[in-house]
Amino acid sequence: MNKPLAIIAGEPNSISSEIIFKSWKLRKQYTHKPLFIIGSIKLLNLQKKKLKYRIKFKKINNDFKINDLKGSELAVYDIKYIQKKPFEKISSKSNKYVFKCFEEALKFVKNKKIIGFVNCPISKESLFKNKHQGITEFLSRKAGRIGSESMLIYCKKLSVSPVTTHIPLSEVNKKIDQYKIIQKVKVINN
Distances (CA, A) of 19 to 9, 12, 23, 65: 9, 12, 6, 25
Q: What is the DSSP letter of 7?
A: E
Contact 75, 64 (CB under 8 A): yes
Distances (CA, A) of 27 to 24, 34, 70, 175: 5, 10, 12, 40
Of 78-87, 120-129, 130-139, 169-178, which gets the smallest average pLDDT? 130-139
Model pLDDT, residue 131: 59
pTM value is 0.87
Q: Per-residue pLDDT averaged across 110-133, rounded?
A: 85
Q: What is the pLDDT of residues 155-176, one digit of tens each?
A: 889 989 999 887 788 988 998 9
Q: What is the pLDDT of residues 61-109, one digit of tens each?
A: 999 988 888 889 999 999 999 999 999 999 999 999 999 999 999 999 9
List beta partners, residue 77.
38, 60
The amino acid present at 15, given as its one-letter code, is I
